[in-house]
Structure 1
Amino acid sequence: MSDIPAHTIRFGRIAATLPVRDMDRAQTFYVNVLGFRKVFENGNPVGFAILKKDEAELHLTLQRDHASAPFNVAHLMVDDVDALHALCQREGLRIVKGIRDKDYGLRAFVLEDPDGNRIDVGQPI
């Protein structure tokens, strides 16, 4: 064990990695619907990709046998949760939990991506 306590170590970014069954479909969704841009991909066929939008970073990993989890796998903070909710509705996405003000100070909803990954989206009230 190290003698260096964890609280003295500065942490940098951390990015969610989402498993996807179809990399092309997932990238199309995150780029064309949510406005991310692809900054890296690896493999032929592509098995891993990094997407960015503003301060958000998302990693996609190809898992052809992926079974979606029945819980939120990522949390995304945005500056206009109502606009993103409206966009998701317009695009026909499954909204797992409808938009509402939470008692912990966020206006939030939960969306499901094309692979069933649940993303909790919030904005401070």
Structure 2
Amino acid sequence: MNKLPVLGNITPIIPAGGDLEKSIVFYEQQLGFTTLYKEGNPVEIAIIKRDSAEIILQRNDDRYLAEWTTFRIQVDDIEQLYREFQSKGGQMIHPNGILETKPWGMKEFVILDVAGVCITFYEPVN
């Protein structure tokens, strides 16, 4: 019996602006991530994680690249996560990306990080 390969989590490497320490603080304090690893002085690369979501932040001050970088993170209990982010001021939530149910069957909201990267948090509607 042949076992089929199974894909696991994906770990994006994203542009984090010219000041990686500023991005790390944002991900830790605003989004609840923990820093697992940092390299360089000044920091050139960092690995951050929250639950199963892992992201590699790379120092890169190309604003155009950051603003065209986007990815999605699936969430269990998206309404609780949305309230958590709102309780931290909610400035990271995109004004056009408030929590709502989309026609494609997902409840989602969008945030922008300090470099301009767009992250959509989503949960399938049952």
TM-score (norm. length: structure 1): 0.80
Identity %: 29
Question: Mind listing any 5+ residue stretches in structure 2 that lack a counterpart?
Answer: none
Letter in structure 2 aligned against 1:99: L
| Structure with the higher strand share, 1 or 2 | 1
Shift of 1:93: 1.7
Aligned residues of 2:63 and 2:116 also touching (Cα < 8 A): no
TM-score (norm. length: structure 2): 0.80
Question: Mind listing any 5+ residue stretches in structure 1 that lack a counterpart?
Answer: 1-7
Residue 18, structure 1, aligned to residue 17, structure 2: no
CA RMSD of aligned residues (A): 2.0
Aligned to 2:77: 80
Aligned residues: 117
**Runs of 4+ with >6 A deviation:** none
Q: Relative contact order (alpha carbons < 8 A, sep ≥ 6): 1 or 2 greater? A: 2
Residue 52, structure 1, aligned to residue 44, structure 2: no
The one of 57, 67, 70 aligned to 1:69: 67
Deviation string 1:25-66 (CA, Å, 9 cap, x unpaired) is 110011112111111111111100000111110110001233
